[in-house]
Amino acid sequence: MSLAEDPATESQPKDLYRSIVDNGGFGILVTDITGNIVYANPRQCESTGYQLEELLGRNPRIFQSGRTPAPVYRELWATILAGRTWHGELVNRRKNGDLIFERVGITSITGTDGETTHFLAVTEEQWNHAPTKLMGGRRTAIDGLTGLPNRETLLGNLGETLSASHANGSGFALLYLDIDRFHTLNQTIGPIAADQLLLEIVSRISAAVRSNDLIARSGADEFVMVLNGTLDKNVCGDTAKRVLQRIAQPITIEEHTLEITGSIGIARYPLDAGSAEDLLRAAFLAQSAARHEGGDRFHFFAPEMEELANTQRDISSQLRHAVERDELRLHFQPQLSLASGQIVGVEALVRWQHAVQGLVPPGAFIPVAEETGMIIAISEWVLREACRRAKEWQDIRTPGIRIAVNLSARHFRYNNLPETVASVLAETGLEARLLELELTESAIMQDPGKAVRIVDRLKNLGVRISLDDFGTGYSSLAYLSRFAIDRLKIDQSFVRDITTNPVNASIATATIAMAHKLGKIVVAEGVETEAQMQFLRRHDCDEMQGYLFSRPVPAEDLQVILREGRHLRFVSDATAEAANTLLLVDDEQNVLNALRRLLRREGYRILTAGSGSEGLELLALQPVQVIVSDQRMPGMSGVEFLSKVKELYPETVRISLSGYSEISTVTDAINKGAIWKYITKPWDDESLAQEIRAAFRLVRERG
Ligand code: C2E
Ligand code: MG
Ligand code: MG
């Protein structure tokens, strides 16, 4: 008897399936090929608020809210008609009008002949839409993608919360979240994936706040959370931390795994502002401060932030005149070869000589210039000035010195860039091979396809391209190999703790190894200590730049550095060894062997001689710091030998090895300063080693 014929075993799985379908914790909806609902499980009915009878024979369109972006549906149909399962999120509506956010999987069901007979949707409700409830049915100003209240609605609602707080003497806090580098991300992963990303972020935010806290979307990647009744600094801080932690968990969307960070600003009523607009602005300013510090952090509002914002407005208006008034300056920082120690290039870094504020660093005005578009004029000035200087320096240093110029993202995408570069080169007479353009990863990633073409056009002019701040962006080295980049600059943040943080150290060494495989030159930025430099040299990094050798300096100072031929001095392995040389002199080979065995462990470079005259010969050939000599030797005695050495090489430290019976002979030499110490034969290994260590210490102390 086959299994299928056994009524008991046949009914068991059916009951099991039925029970899974009915109680599985997710909604199930089945339609026929024309889209008529033929089945909905109890969960589906419950979450949509319809009875099964009301659904049968109807089209799932009845759930549509108009909030799901049209491209999502296009993608949905393209996927299931191609026979694959579509996974995504839909914003639907309950029978009573409330929005529901559902994670949905839709697939087609095929009959025995392979033809599609039904469509199956499995739905899972994401969260109760608390904000909608809080908004008291005022749904006209809701954001289309997320279904959250938008900025206008938020402001209206804030006004009400504010009056209520004022009336009952309580307070509340406002958290303003901005996703770091969202613009770049959006360009990289595309708008559909970016929408999914935002929906995922919203679900994470709502999991991090209390259910009665309001969440609103105030801009493309900006969200506001209103923590009702909360004024406590710790509670606000903890909530902000929770939000940041949740969104920082890796998010996988389509084929991308993204690591998202955000910046949060916190403002509190009535502490920081008295009106809804001012409170929102205060939280926004605090958020900007967090973002400017590198993101992935939160800040409470402080009154100074208001002043800072005013300064930035001032900067923008005054910057307009900076070029005309000739207020821009270039400083130059040398880049050195880690093999030869010589200067191989310089990076041009712009400064603004402000009439009142003095020398303004680029970090304070380049972002403003980028936002306002003034960056093009500034960038062109920098390019021209840098090339002009480099041409001048060709006279000091033949065959010339490479000059690196930073390109802002906006200038990089500017259509005329290759033509501008060509005409500046022609105008200044600088050879193209001496110009290097530094690009940032984000400039490239905004539109990688276009970037490949621009880089190729620039390379055709003969200029070099380097990638600045490598390691701070999203892209992998493998991906970047598509670009014709010559040099890779490892960002300072990795170099800073390279000798103390094993993770950053291995990132740096792996980057160097991989870049070399791809035929790229590696430059380390921000090298400040000898130890960092030695680490980088040991791991084959090609070039370095940093305060260790020089800060960025004005053209005149750089000229002096170049004229004087200043360069890096390495305490190379060979020199280190030469500074550690010990000469042993004895006519007995077995004594020499024993001493050598003992002292080799101490890491000295050891020379041996069988006689005084052989010892003098060795001393003439190479530097020696410490000498240990036997007293009784045929020909020249130890005292005679060491006395000669004292005359010829007074800086050496001389030790005599003698028997007790010879002490009187040695004393005279000690008194005349020919011998620093004597050690009696047979010696004690440990104290001999110690004396020799002391001798080398003495050498170092004398410098
Ligand atoms: P960058 O291109 O990565 O330049 C390196 C920055 O690190 C410079 O800051 C430099 O002074 C600093 N630096 C160099 N060595 C050390 C070191 O050993 N320790 C530390 N702590 N810092 C070091 P700077 O001049 O303030 O420039 C900052 C950024 O501004 C530059 O970063 C670059 O992205 C941008 N920038 C500078 N000049 C220009 C320009 O002409 N055009 C554009 N678009 N951006 C510029
Ligand atoms: Mg740079
Ligand atoms: Mg850099």
pLDDT for 330 equals 97
pLDDT for 135 equals 36
Query: Can you tell me the distance from the alpha carbon of 300 to that of 461, in angstroms, rounded to the nearest whole number?
Result: 50
pLDDT for 136 equals 36
Cα 466 to ligand 3 centroid, rounded to whole Å: 10
Indicate whether residue 380 lines ligand 1 (CB < 6 A).
no
pLDDT for 576 equals 67
Q: Which atom of ligand 1 is nearest to the CA of 333?
A: 14
Short-list 128, 64, 60, CA closest to 91 = 64
- The conformation of residue 61, written as its DSSP 8-state character, comes to G
Whole-number percent of the chain with pLDDT over 70? 93
- The answer, yes or no, to whether residue 377 has pLDDT greater than 80, is yes
Average pLDDT over every residue of 573-589: 84
Short-list 255, 283, 138, 264, CA closest to 201 = 264
In CATH terms, the superfamily for domain 15-127 is PAS domain (3.30.450.20)
Specify the higher pLDDT residue, 106 or 579.
106
Q: Which atom of ligand 1 is nearest to the CA of 545?
A: 15
Average pLDDT over every residue of 104-130: 79
SS (H, E, C) 646-658: HHHCCCCEEEEEE
Q: What are the residues whose beta carbons fall under 8 Å from the beta carbon of 343, sequence distance 6 or more?
A: 334, 335, 336, 397, 401, 561, 562, 566, 567
pLDDT for 572 equals 63
Residue nearest to atom 38 of ligand 1 (CA): 349
| Ion ligand 2 nearby residues (CB, 5 A) | 406, 438, 468
Residue nearest to atom 13 of ligand 1 (CA): 526
pLDDT for 9 equals 47
- The answer, yes or no, to whether residue 309 has pLDDT greater than 80, is no
| pLDDT digit string, tens, across residues 154-202 | 888 898 888 888 888 889 999 999 998 887 787 778 878 888 999 999 9
pLDDT for 249 equals 93
In CATH terms, the superfamily for domain 325-564 is EAL domain (3.20.20.450)
Q: How far is CA 624 from CA 67, 331, 578, 585, in A?
A: 84, 44, 7, 13
Residue nearest to atom 7 of ligand 1 (CA): 526
| pLDDT digit string, tens, across residues 2-44 | 434 444 444 566 777 777 787 777 899 999 888 889 999 988 9
Examine domains 151-301 and 325-564 and report if their fold is the same: no
- The answer, yes or no, to whether residue 104 has pLDDT greater than 60, is yes
* Edge-to-edge strands, sheet with 297-300: 214-219, 222-227, 172-179, 262-269, 297-300
Residue nearest to atom 30 of ligand 1 (CA): 362
Query: Can you tell me the distance from the alpha carbon of 470 to that of 476, in angstroms, rounded to the nearest whole number?
Result: 10
| pLDDT digit string, tens, across residues 89-101 | 887 888 877 777 7
For the chain, how long is the longest CA-to-CA vector? 121
- The answer, yes or no, to whether residue 502 has pLDDT greater than 50, is yes
- The answer, yes or no, to whether residue 651 has pLDDT greater than 90, is yes
Specify the higher pLDDT residue, 205 or 151.
205
| pLDDT digit string, tens, across residues 535-566 | 898 888 999 999 999 999 999 999 999 999 99
Architecture of domain 573-702: 3-Layer(aba) Sandwich (3.40)
pLDDT for 140 equals 42
| pLDDT digit string, tens, across residues 16-26 | 777 778 777 78
Indicate whether residue 361 lines ligand 1 (CB < 6 A).
yes
Average pLDDT over every residue of 446-464: 91
Average pLDDT over every residue of 347-353: 96
Indicate whether residue 334 lines ligand 1 (CB < 6 A).
no
- The conformation of residue 214, written as its DSSP 8-state character, comes to E
Query: Can you tell me the distance from the alpha carbon of 21 to that of 42, in angstroms, rounded to the nearest whole number?
Result: 9
Query: Can you tell me the distance from the alpha carbon of 336 to that of 317, in angstroms, rounded to the nearest whole number?
Result: 38
Which ligand is nearest to the Cα of residue 386, counting in written order? 1
Cα 316 to ligand 2 centroid, rounded to whole Å: 23
Indicate whether residue 363 lines ligand 1 (CB < 6 A).
yes
pLDDT for 436 equals 98
Name the residue of 349, 557, 558 to mutate for ligand 1: max ligand atoms within 8 A of Cβ: 349
| pLDDT digit string, tens, across residues 69-91 | 666 787 788 788 778 888 888 87
Least confident of 285-289, 308-312, 375-379, 522-526: 308-312
Which ligand is nearest to the Cα of residue 438, counting in written order? 2
| Ion ligand 3 nearby residues (CB, 5 A) | 468-469, 525
- Show me where the domains of the chain are located: 15-127, 151-301, 325-564, 573-702
CATH topology of domain 151-301: Alpha-Beta Plaits (3.30.70)
Short-list 603, 606, 601, CA closest to 581 = 606
Specify the higher pLDDT residue, 499 or 452.
452
Indicate whether residue 177 lines ligand 1 (CB < 6 A).
no
Say if strands 402-406 and 435-440 run parallel, antiparallel, or are unpaired.
parallel
Indicate whether residue 547 lines ligand 1 (CB < 6 A).
yes
| pLDDT digit string, tens, across residues 582-628 | 999 999 999 999 999 888 877 788 999 999 999 999 998 889 999 99
- The answer, yes or no, to whether residue 62 has pLDDT greater than 90, is no
| Mean residue pLDDT across the chain | 86
Residue nearest to atom 17 of ligand 1 (CA): 526
Which pLDDT band holds residue 294 (cuts at 50, 70, 90)?
A: confident
